[in-house]
Each structure stands twice: as C-alpha cells, then as structure tokens.
Structure 1
Amino acid sequence: MKGFLRFSDQNEHMNTSFESSRPLGSLVLGCVFLGAFPAHAQPFQARSRKTVTVASSVNQKQNVESILVRGAARGSALLRPVGETTYSSDHIDFAHRAAQSVADMVATLPGVTVLQGNGPRDNVVSVRGSGARQSWGLKNLQITEDGFPMTQPDGTARADLIDPHAYEGVDVSQGPASTLYGNYAINGAINFRTRNGADIHGLELGSDFGSFGLFNNYATIGAGNKRYDFMLFGSDVRGKGFIANSQYNTSTENMRLRVNLTSSDRLVLKFVNNVTDTSLPLRLSLNQFRSNPYQNGCANAASAVAGCASVNLLVNGAYGAHQATSPQQAGLGRFDRRTIVGLRWEHDFDPRTTWHTQFTYDQRHTDQPTSTTAFVGPFNSYNVQTDWTNRGRIGKTPLTSFVGASFDYMDYGYQVYNLTPQGGATRGALNSTSYGHQWNIGLRFQEDWQFSPLWHAVVGLGGTQSDVGAVQTLYNRSARSTALQNITANRRFFNLAPEASLVYTPTKDWTLHTRVGTAYATPGYSSFFVTPQGNYGNNTQLKSETSLGFDLGVEWHPSPSINIQATGFYEFYRNELVSQSAGVNTPAGSYTFNAPASEHRGIELGATWQPLRASLPGARLKLSYTYGNQIYTKYTETLSNSTLAQSFARKGNLIPGVIPHFLDARVLYNQPDGWLQGLGGFAEVTWRSTFFLDNANILKAPSYALLNLEIHYDPPPRMGWVHRLHSYFEVQNVTNQVYAAGATDISDTLLPTGQQAGRSVLANKTGSIYAGSPRAFFGGVRIKF
C-alpha cells in the first residue's frame, strides 16, 4: 500500500512518500487522545522530533490513503508530552456551521465542557472541572495560540478574541501540566492553531447570518511557499441577542507570518487584536429563570414583571439611598480591548539541535460596568521564553532532551467606580483603586526516551518562582467625610512540578498509556485584601493550590472504521482556593482561603465509527462522553447571618459547578462521489446532567438535551467556478428547549435558627443563571478567490 505523508509546522513544509503494509489503524495510534507520539517512535521513522495529530481520508475506489500529519515545533509552549491525554478538534469539525465561539470548536472533545460567560463569546471552558466555579474566562489553564501565550501572568485568559473561522484546529492537553506550562496549568493547557496561508492560497470572503440579528462578515487572506507563510484574518460580528440587554458588536483581527531567513533560521510574527462591545443582562435565580428565562418586560425596574433582576445603585453615586435599576437603565455591559504582539526566532544549530526564543506583549484594557460598580483599567504583560532541544540517541534508541526557561511580568492599575441610576453606565464616586504587579520565572526540562519499539517513556521537572505585589485603596464615604484605607500585599511563592509517563503499544490495534502529573496555581492579587476575620486587610498567608494526578488510558483501533479512546483520571488537590463567609456583621462579608483537600476523578470516552464503510462510506458516527465525580475530602465551611455563625463539614460533598455527565453524539454524512458529491450534514444531540450550585449540595441546575441539525454543500472541482462557493444552513435547539447555558455557584444561607436554608430559599438567590438560546436558524456563504 502506498500513501503520502505531509509534515507541517512553523518550521518547514515538506513532502515525502513511504511504503506501508500496515492498515491505517497502525498509523493513527495515540494521535488524538495520546497526542504525543514522537516522530522517531513507532510506527513513524522520521528522525525530526515532532508530535503528531493525524487526520485521514480514504478513497474507496483507488484504495489510496491520504494521511495529514500535523506537527508542533518542539518548545515554545508547543509541547504535547508523550502519555498526556490530549484531544484535538480540526477545522472540518466546526467549519460547516455558524461557529460563533470557542464552544463550537471544542463541542466534540471529551473532558471539555462549556458554560456561558459574560458576553456572547466569553465562554467558560472547563477541562476536567477547571472553570467550574467561574462566571467568566478560562481559569486554571494555560492558553496558547500558535505557541504564543494567551494567558496573562495572573492566570487570566478570555475567549472573546476567538473567532473559529480563523483556526485550523485546537489541541487540549488534560490533567496537571505545570511541568511544561508553568503556573496556572493545574488542569491542563489549550493550544489554538490558526490556518496556514499556503492552505488558504488566496482570498476568502464569508458571511454568517441568522436569528436574533446575527451578522458575521469575515475575510481571510493567505499565501505561502518554502520561504514564507502568511495568514491574515478579520471579522466583525454583531447581533441583538436573545436575552434583553444582550446586543453586541465584536471585531477581531488575527495575523501570523512565518519567514525562513536561512536554512537554519526562521522568524514567526504573531498579532491578535479584539474589541468587545456588549451589553450585559444580569444572572438570574433559579426561580427567576423558570418564570422569565429571557428577561422580557424587564427594561424598567419600577414596572418590571415577575422574574426580572435589578441592581441597587447609589442615588448620588457616593453614599446614602439606593435605587433599584434594570440592566438597560443602568447601561450594564463590557467594553474591552485586547492586543497581543509576539515574535519568535527559531535556530537550528545542527539537524538535531534547535533553539527557540520568543517575546510577547499583551495588553488587556477593561471597562466593565457589570453590576453596581464599573471596573476600569489596563493590564500590561510581557513574556519571554527560550528553550533548547536535542534529538540524540542512547545506543540505538532515540532520546530527545529539552530544557527551557521563561519569564513573564504584568503591571496593572485599575479603578472601581460606583454606578449611578442616571443611565449609560454613568460613573459616580471612586470606590477603590488597585495597583500592582505579578511576575513568574520558570525553568523546566524533559527527557523523552523510546527505549524499545514497544515502549516509550518521559520524565520531566518544572519549577516557578512567583512574586505578587499590590496596593489597594478603599474610599469610605459619608455626608461628612471620606476616609481612605490603604492595604499593601506582597508575597512570593515557589513551586515544583515533576511528571512521568509511559506508553505501551503491544500491537498495531492497541495503545496504552499511563501518566503521573503535578501542577500548581498561585493565589490572585484580589484574594489578598480581606482577612479571615472579614476585615479589609492583609490576607497573604494563602498557599498555592496544587494537584497530583494519575491517568490511565487506552486506544483501540481494530479496523479503519472504528476508533475508541478511553481515559480514567484520579487527581488529588490540596489547598484549593475558595471563598467563604468571615462571620457575623463583618465589613467585607467573605474572604478567600485554602480548602485543605479534595479529589477529582472521572472517565473520558471518545469514539468514531463508520458502520457501512463499503456501501455507505460517507456515513460516520462520533461520540464524546465525560463523567466527572469531584468531592471535598477535607473542608469545613463557615456560614453566618446577622447574629451568629456556624461551621458545617463539607467532607464527601460534590464540588459545585462540576457537571457529572456530559455527552455529545453526532451522526454525520458527506457524499464522497456522484452528482451529489459535496453535499453533507449532521444531526447532533448534546446532553448535560444536573449539577449542584452550592457547597451543601442542596440546589441543582437543571439538566437538558438539545438537538441540532446542519446541512452544507461544497461543490466538487468539476463544477468549475461554483467549486469556490461554500454554503450551509443550521437549526440549533430544534425542539426549542428552555435551558441554563450558564450557571455559577451560589453561597449557602444560615437561618436565624442556626440551620442551613433549604432549597426554597436558595432557589431565590440571584446572580447565577443565564438562559441558553431558544430555537435558532443560521446560514452562511463563503467564496474563495
């Protein structure tokens, strides 16, 4: 059997051919869920060290296999170590749909769940429960794009700047990953891959349009050869939203340029810019969600119907009386900008030794009147990384050695203003200010040894020194005076993260892997300003949260039509950072502390199947399922009311926000030949189980099941100029289910009797739930020149 193998990364483009008597199954072992077979390992014999993701297509008539091998350059945050569970989604998985946000890119990946954040593209992406207790952003993950960091030194990353049309795919490395990715990679890392200019080879213009006033106009320019590769993408998306006060307009620009200066030197330039302008509704209580999920009739707080949420704003913007105000009246929203510029130099000392050095500048400027206050200020960060890779041998066995260093620094200065009821997000008096910095300096190394044709091992160690310093000023205002309180917080942390993994490939049909990984995340600056007594003051005794995780996985590929991957994980967490009550009548109310111990365990399952490979080669089934069981094993929580405080043991309770069961199943079809060639579509069912919203495990977010349908047409080349035109039509939430797309944690309540409040009380606690979209229709066209 003959095939063609194409390697592509930031380093080079090359084509070669090989002879193989093995079926396709032997070539796909570990590619999606192991994610880390080195190119020098079996079954590949290429000497250059690359990690691989393999996509395949089969021409039944000619019996020729086309295999795309996508490599990631060693180092510069592109590492995907052997044995680490890694799932990948490629352009074909999300290209034939509206693809409005990162949620569409990761929908089919086991271990990954998505909740709605604060804005149309602000998805809370959770890997093994990483963002379970967050209402916005991507937390406890390290995010990169084309190897450049998208997570700032304080652990903050947001999905607003991601328009799926710009990307070739995404790789999600799961489990503790601080050995290679440093601080905040406590649940893993995500790398987004933009499209190659050589693959675009021209100009593409496209538009998506549909329900709730959605319009997304985008353009992509691409060109490339052996000397350079250039991709430039721009989009402008706007819509009215399906919830009152959720209209938005977001623009994104994304560029990557690779230049081969010489045979041994390459430069990669990266640029991303995003402007998010969106109005924001308020999150609802469970009872409000059930009575008025889309917040209709809520524009005027004085005459609002049942199920509406409002904020109480200071009438004079400084002190005294409050007035209930709707989100529309207050002008709640987010008006943010993010700009990232990066440059990487890659140098080959010899065919086996490579050096990477890169610098990234990242500015995040926020203007967020999201509740009773407006949060305003810039966050400037600088990141330098350098690493060295040698692909050598021990005797006749390949050994890849890697060592790297990194330094990142962020300075920030933000102001918090009271909002007034005058409308238009009018700012009142200054509420507080905060100025500070955080830096992280890290070293890491890894030894990657294939000590036999069937066995592959990796050991590594990483360490980070972190420094956090900040000053917060509080303004306490009254009719007579304004009192200022300054709080200074300075703290250093040092953390180590060893790891080891082993991969065993006994036959061409089976691959097994096991891994022990560790990770850490330091406390954020905002957690240092309230003491355990509930007073504004220094809280720098906090510790880093850490994790120790074990993975055991298997991939079974008995034939070209079946591929099954399963991974079980068990992770032990120490000193998780949580917020709880500080006691009775305390000025600040709650503070951050370390929950001593918890355990995260679960199962991830992914499967693809071509049931009628011979008679119906275009039909395929795809399944993704995640089971998560995460509990506190040592944690006592304090609840308080106006007169007393009580402590409650949470040992054995499920951690709120973690979805126990998440399933995505698709039936796909693409006509491979004949007069209907290029016609395809899918039917998708997404099911999410109920999950707890509070530490006492009293109130649950409701479960839901959604049905989505899609049809598309890519005319074949024989159609002439029509071949350049792509079109699709999609129906989301076909059965028009009312469901909770986002549900954040709520705090439990202590009754005057000293008992915990029951479900009826908690169901009226606001600030938790955003409804998901009702039935919606979308279409799109794209033309290539």
Structure 2
Amino acid sequence: MPQRPTFTLRRLNAALLMALAGTAGAQTLQEVVVSASRQEQQSFDAPASVQAVGQAAIEAAGPRVNLSEVMNRVPGITVLNRQNYAQDLQLSIRGSGSRSPFGIRGARLIVDGIPATMPDGQGQASTISLPSAQRIEVLRGPLAQLYGNSAGGVLQVFTADGPEKPEIRFSVDAGSDRLRRYGVQAAGQSGSLNYVLDHSDFSTDGWRVNSAARRQHTNAKLRWAASDATRVTLVANAFDQPESGDPLGLTREQFQSNPRQAVANSTLYQAGKDVSQTQLGLVAEHKLDARSDITARVYAGERDLDNRLSIPLVAQTAPTAAGGVVQLDRRFSGTGLRYARRVAAGEGQVQLSAGVDVERMSERRRGFINDFGAVGALKRDEDDSVDSTGVYTQADWAINEGWSAVAGLRANRVNFRVKDFFIRPGNPDDSGRLSYSATNPVLGITRHLSADTNLYANVGKGFETPTLTEMAYTAGGSGPNLNLKSARSTHAEVGVKMRLAEGQRLDAALFHIGTRDEIVVASSSGGRTVYTNAGKTSRSGLELTHSAQWTPEWRTHLALATLDARFDQAFASSGGATVAQGNRIPGIADRTLFAEVAWQPRAWPGFTAALEAVHRGSMVVDDLNSDRTDAATLFHLRLGWQQKLGAWTLRETLRVENLADKATIGSVIANDGNRRFFEPAPGRQWGLGVVATYAF
C-alpha cells in the first residue's frame, strides 16, 4: 500500500511549494516539500493549514528587503511594512502578535532549522536574508503549538542550495525615496560540499521624515554530505543596521494634514536605532537505518542594540524612570535533538518522533537619559536572562488508504530572571524571577475521500509568555512587570484540500481560537509600553487559497482570509474606561485579499506581466475601538524580462505599486497614549531590479 506523507515536528513536511514552471509549455503546478529526512513528498495529505512561496515569487515581489513584499500571497499571515526600519515589520498569524509595537511576537521564526525567535518569544524579521531564500513556509493552526512558547504560527525560511555548476550572481535594485540594494552571491557544488554565500547592501532615504535606513547583510550556508547517511549544514548570518530613524506614529489630524511628516519629538530626540547581530548554527542529520534517523542542532549568537526613544526630558528624570536611551548587549544560544522512527502498524505505518529543545538568552540592559540625541546619565542597569526547556513527542499514523491521524504532546518551562544593579533613593531594588510552564497536546485526523479530495480536523492547546520587553515596565513603577501571566489558548480547525482540475489547487480552512489571560497593551506613551492581562478573547476566521495554470500563458493566484478577533469579557482599561465585551482586538484587519493574474506570452519568450490586487479591511486602533482605519484596495503592476547570453543569464523586473496613488494607513500602534495610532503607507512607488548570473 502506498504510504501517506507525514507531518514531522521539526520541519514543515506538509508545506506546499507552488513552483510554477518557467517555460511557456508548463500547464501544471508542482507540489513539492522537503522533509527532515530529505525525502521529497507531496503536501496534499497533510492535516494542517500550510502554504509556501517559492524563489520565483520572492524575486518578483520586490527588492527582497522585507517579508511584507511577498507574504500577502499566503492567507492567515499579515506582514505590515511600517515604513520604519527602527521598529521592524508588524507580523501576525491569525491575529497573534498584532499588539507588538516593534519586533515579532506570537509567532515562531526558524531559518534553516535554527530558531530566529528568542526563548521568551520575541524575534526580528529584519535578520532574514531574502536574496538567498529558496522558499518561505507558513504553518497555522493547532499543530504550530508543538513548536513551544508563543507559537501562534510558524514561519520557516530555507536558504537555497547551490547549483551543480558554480555560479556568481550580481543584483542591483533601485526605487522610490532613493532606495538602493546591491548584492553579490556565489553558489555551487564542489565535491561533497554545497555552498551559498550572499551579501547585500541596502539603503533608503525613507518615505517619511526621519525614516532613512542603512543595512548590510551577509548570509552563508555550507552543506557537507559526509556519507550517504550523514549530512552536516553550517549556517552563518551577520546583520548590521547602523542607521534607522523612527518617525513615530501620527494622530488622525496629522495624517490628514501631511502623512510624510514626523512628530516634533522624533527629530528633537533623534529617535532611532542602531543594531547589529551575528549568529552561527550547525545542523547534523544522520540516518541510523532504513527506518530511523536523528537530527541535532546547536547555535549561538549575539545582538547589540542602541535605541534612542522620544520620551520628553522631564519624564526621563523621574526617580523611577528608565531614561530615553536603551542599550542592550544580548547573547543567545540553544541546542536541539530529535529522534524519529517509522514502524508498521496494521495496514499502515506510524512515524514516531521525540526530542528536546534547550534555549537560553542573557542580556545586559541599561537605560540613559536621552539629552536631545546625546547619551546622558545612567537611569537603568540590570542583567536579564531567560532559559527555556521543551520536551515533545509526536506520532503520525497512516492508518489505511482512507484515514490518517497525528497526535503530539509538548511540555515547556520558561524561566525569567532580572538582577537590578541600579538602586537609588526613590528607585528600589527591582530584582526578581518568574517561571511559566505548560503541557500542550494536539490531535488531528484526515479523511482521504479520494485522490483529489482530503478533509482534516485538528484541535490543540498553546501558551504564550510575556517577553522580556513586555515585562520591562510597570504602570507607575520602576521595575519589571512580574505580575504578567502567560496567555493560554485552545485552537480548533477544519479544512479541505482539493485538486479541482489539471493545474488547479484549492485549500480552505475554518478555525477558532479561544484565549484566556490575553496579553494586551495597557498603555503606550513616550516610548514606554506597559502590558497587562485581559480576560477571554476569541479569534475565528476563514482562509482560502486557489492557484491555477489555466493555459500555458495565463495563471492566477488567490489568497483570502477573514478574521473576527474580539474581547469576550469586559475589563477596565488603563484610563479607567471599560472595554466592552465584543470589542474588536486592535491592530487586526478583519479581512485580507491577494489576487494575481499573470501572463507569459509564447510570442515573447522570457517576458512576463502580472497585475496584483491587495485588499485589507479595517483595523481598530485601541481596546475601546475609538477609531479605526479605512479598508483599502491597492493595485500593483510588474513586468519581467529574461535573456540568455552565452554563460550569462540576465533578468530585469519593473514594479509599480499603488497604481492609483491612494493615501492609506499601513499599520497602527495599538493603544498609543498620545493617540498617535497611525503609521501611513506611501503613495505610488516604483522599483527596478536587474540580476546578472554567470554560470561557470
């Protein structure tokens, strides 16, 4: 009996890579996945909502600087470009993470098998290298909870393998607001060593005042096939962003007056960030025998940050204030071990897997007076640390031709510790420690109705601890907020996957997430965001994806998501007002839509054209639902050319975004105390990219 593909724990074995063939004669969509055991499998039988975007889509979507360029092709994940490189993107999966004023919360990021999310649940999308990415996979739903703390969803990035023949690639991108990106990449195979070395240099003047940014990014992957049974992969990443201004949010009146402005304190205090990060990781995979394998990983890195906030000087001088300049010196590391074995069971087969993850981060956190851009007196000095241990097991059972099931269990413990060295009159010792633990089960089943239709259902539990950043401030106090509880959630999902016809694929899912002790923004003002726990919340929605190659020349892609995210219990806001039951959760769009029509004419080999429509519904700005953004639909156009000149391959891409030059709000800062909720999006933008590849 043919065996059903399984969904393994440490990789997204069920990921769909919609790789559209580049020749005019291609009429089918190739469904490809890559498993931890290095076996290619089709994703059709996977009991999960999981899609991917491939290298061609990544390269066509823009200059390959931000995840927001391409991730609108996947339903259920929202990645908003804030036009603010000091605060990173706003990324949320099924609404998880929408509260974050900066960085990534509520979703796990993994790059080439190495976590890019810290053990407390915080991560940064800016350190992901898109020019060398082969595909990006997104997992939503209950099975994501098996990745541990803050796994509202999982986003994995896979660096491309080098081609059999060595090649070198040069790329240049230019765009509006003096955007420039220069890149060089060397890749190939030499004996048993496969290698990819990529470097990019990016700069922009920014669309708004005080939003200029510069960064350099180097990414390397070396894969050594030690034997037929053993493979070792070394990944290294270096990121340096010496300049990134912070224009801050705007009030509605400021947005309507001049959306490109920055508020006065942004320039007065030279708000912005200087950040650098380096990381090294090693992944070893060994096949013990025909039925079992083992995977181990180890990684370490460091991150240094200097963040100038726009807190008014008078507020910084209070005895319990932490100042207006944050300096972090962070070290992080981790190890992981996973064992998997396949055994016969009745008519089918069970893949059993078990493993352990151990992660740690420690940082020296200091705060200084921001004396109008100059570093002043010390106001905060502490050592913070977080360590996390997770133990998991999972069974994937191909019962028979008609049924398959998955069951898993993960136990996690996360320990926080703060050691305060800044003790002064009026500022007491704020040292403390706190631990969170949870054991989360998941269960799923798939009904294989036919070779072209599968139904599945899943249920599971998850938890999310506050991050060190979210614990940094207390309302009216000086020290860490050790009263925050972890949020506990229950996830349920049903879905269908269908091959409608030759070259067509439809995925649809309905989900519901119920959460208690939701971590919400209590107040956000002057660069300080204080968090608290609300009562119960719920998120329910529909996600649908349809891809089709209608003819050799025409193809379409559609990604639709609806999301109803609400507070199920009333609670008191920081200002004393009551947040009513039924209010929407801020920062979450109630619907999103991406639609693309692409044309590749036979008469013009190497030419492609595509029209994209991107729709985003409204977002409320605070728990009281006192204001909201307007829904907006934008249209983008892209043209592409490719030529072959001997050993050279040339590719040019022209993009025009927001064709109608609409004035829109790109993202919101939830519960901002100054009512500067709105972060404007740019009007019409252009971009031109050229890639030249030489194959030896």
- TM-score normalised per structure 2: 0.90
Contact 2:292 2:342 in 1 (8 A): yes
Match of 1:206 in 2: 171
- What is residue 695 of structure 1 aligned with on the other side? 623
Distance in 2 of aligned mates of 1:210 and 1:123? 19
Query: 1: CA distance between counterparts of 2:665 and 2:20?
Result: 38
1:503 counterpart = 2:446: yes
1:106-132 Cα distance to aligned partner (Å, 9 max, x none): 121001112234417921111111221
Compared with structure 1, are the counterparts of its residues 39 and 575 closer, same or farther at alpha carbon in structure 2 (3 Å cutoff)? farther
Checking the alignment, whether the CA contact within 8 Å between 2:24 and 2:600 is kept in structure 1 is: no
Instruction: Report how far residue 53 of structure 1 moved.
Output: 3.3
Equivalent position to 2:371, from 413, 417, 420: 420
Cα distance change of structure 1 residues 285 and 200 upon mapping to structure 2, 3 Å threshold: farther
Q: 2:318 corresponds to which residue?
A: none
Following the alignment from structure 1 to structure 2, what is the Cα–Cα distance between the partners of residues 43 and 669?
35
Alignment of 1:1-40 (within 5 A): 40=3
Q: Is the 8 A contact 2:587 2:667 kept in 1?
A: no
Aligned partner of 1:670 in structure 2 is 600
Question: For 1:751-783, what per-residue CA distance to the aligned partner results, in whole angstroms no more than 9, with x for missing partners?
Answer: xxxxxxxxxxxxxx4432222122122111111
Amino acid in the other structure paired with 1:159: A
Larger Rg, first or second structure (1 or 2): 1
Aligned to 1:469: 417
Alignment partner for residue 460 of structure 2, among 517, 520, 523?
517
- Change in 2 beyond 3 A, CA 1:691/1:516: same
Q: Which residue of 2 aligns with 1:154?
A: 120
1:735 equivalent to 2:660? Answer yes
- CA distance in structure 1 between the aligned counterparts of 2:663 and 2:27, rounded to whole angstroms: 47
Matches within 5 A, 1:99-248: 99-117=64-82, 118-119=84-85, 122-177=88-143, 179-185=145-151, 187-198=152-163, 201-224=166-189, 227-248=192-213
Q: In the alignment, which of 345, 369, 381 is matched to residue 394 of structure 1? A: 345
Give the structure 2 partner of residue 622 of structure 1: 557
Assess if the C-alpha contact under 8 Å between 2:29 and 2:504 holds in 1.
Answer: no
How far the C-alpha of 1:545 sits from its partner, in A, is 0.7
Q: In the alignment, residue 243 of structure 1 is paired with which amino acid?
A: R
Q: Could you say if the C-alpha distance between residues 214 and 593 of structure 1 is closer, same or farther in structure 2, counting changes exceeding 3 Å?
A: closer
Q: Which residue of 1 aligns with 2:321?
A: none
Unaligned residue ranges in structure 2 (runs of 5+): 312-323
Would the alpha carbon gap of residues 87 and 212 (structure 1) be closer, same or farther in structure 2, given more than 3 Å must change? Answer: same
The residue number in structure 2 matching 1:596 is 535
Matched, 1:632 2:632: no
Structure 1: distance between partners of 2:188 and 2:281: 20
Looking at structure 1, the residues matched to 36 and 607 of structure 2 have their Cα atoms a distance apart, in angstroms, of 36
Over 3 Å counting, the alpha-carbon distance change for 1:167 and 1:199 in structure 2 is: farther
In 2: Cα distance, 1:418 partner to 1:708 partner? 44
Retained in 1: the 8 A contact 2:99–2:521?
A: no
Contact 2:17–2:54 (CA<8 Å) still a contact in 1? no
The one of 37, 55, 67 aligned to 1:91: 55
Question: How far apart are residue 375 of structure 1 and its match?
Answer: 1.0
Distance in 2 between residues matched to 1:331 and 1:747, nearest whole Å: 20
- Relative to the length of structure 1, the TM-score reads 0.80
Q: Helix, strand or coil: the match of 1:94?
A: helix
Q: Which residue of 1 aligns with 2:222?
A: 257
Q: What's the CA shift for 1:174?
A: 0.7
Cα distance per residue 1:147-174 (max 9 Å; x no partner): 1111111212111123422111100101
Other-structure match for 1:315: none
Q: Note the alpha carbon deviations across 1:511-548, whole angstroms, 9 max, x for none.
A: 2111112211112335556667x444575343211111
2:325 aligned counterpart, secondary structure: strand
User: How far apart in 2 are the matches of 1:395 and 1:231?
Assistant: 44
| Matched letter for residue 687 of structure 2 | F
Q: Do 1:40 and 1:49's aligned partners in 2 also have CA atoms closer than 8 Å?
A: no
Going from structure 1 to structure 2, the CA distance change for 1:686 and 1:366 (only over 3 Å counts) comes to: same
- What residue in structure 1 maps to residue 282 of structure 2? 343
The residue that corresponds to 2:495 in the other structure is: 553
Greater CA drift, 172-181 or 98-107: 172-181
User: Residue 86 of structure 2 contacts residue 272 of structure 2 at CA under 8 Å; is this kept in 1?
Assistant: no
Higher relative contact order (CA 8 A, sep 6+): 2
Which residue of 2 is the match for residue 383 of structure 1? 334
1:440 aligns with 2:388: yes
Q: C-alpha distance in 1, partners of 2:277/2:529? A: 31
Provide the residue aligned with 1:73 in structure 2: 36
- The change in CA–CA distance for 1:679 and 1:330 in structure 2 (over 3 A counts) is same
Say if 2:505 is the partner of 1:563: yes
- Answer yes or no: is the 8 Å Cα contact 2:638–2:653 preserved in 1: yes
2:231 is equivalent to residue 266 of structure 1: yes
Say if 1:200 and 1:455 are closer, same or farther in 2 by CA, change over 3 A.
farther
SS of residue in 2 equivalent to 1:691? coil
User: What is the CA distance between 1:182 and its match in structure 2?
Assistant: 1.1
For 1:87, the aligned partner's letter is Q
CA distance in structure 2 between the aligned counterparts of 1:743 and 1:736, rounded to whole angstroms:
20
| SS of 1:487 mapped into structure 2 | coil
Q: Give the AA of the match of 2:680.
A: A
Question: 3-state SS of the aligned residue for 1:728?
Answer: strand
Q: Secondary structure at the match of 2:331?
A: strand
Change (3 A) 1:163 1:405: closer
CA distance in 1, matches of 2:244, 2:164: 34
Aligned letter for 2:225? N
> Do structure 1's residue 285 and structure 2's residue 251 form an aligned pair?
yes
User: How far apart are the structure 2 equivalents of 1:65 and 1:738?
Assistant: 39
Distance 2:610 2:294 in 1: 44
Comparing 738-747 and 204-213, the one that deviates more: 738-747
**Cα distance in 1 between the residues matched to 2:81 and 2:542:** 24
> Does the 8 Å contact 2:547/2:556 carry over to 1?
yes
> Do the aligned partners of residues 651 and 96 (structure 1) sit closer, same or farther apart at CA in structure 2, a change above 3 Å counting?
same
Counterpart in 1 of 2:693?
A: 784
CA distance in 2 between counterparts of 1:156 and 1:638 reads 25
Classify 1:407/1:618 alpha carbon distance in 2 versus 1 (closer, same or farther; 3 Å): same
Deviations 1:420-468 (A, max 9, x none): 13xxx21111222231211011100000000011211000000111111
CA separation in 2, counterparts of 1:70 and 1:693?
Answer: 39
Question: In 2, distance between residues paired with 1:180 and 1:49?
Answer: 12
More displaced 10-residue stretch of structure 1: 657-666 or 194-203: 194-203
Q: Would the alpha carbon gap of residues 58 and 339 (structure 1) be closer, same or farther in structure 2, given more than 3 Å must change?
A: closer
Task: Judge which range, 99-108 or 245-254, deviates more.
Answer: 99-108
RMSD: 3.0
Distance in 1, matches of 2:615 and 2:47, equals: 29
Q: How far apart are the structure 2 equivalents of 1:49 and 1:526?
A: 29
- Give percent identity, aligned residues only: 21
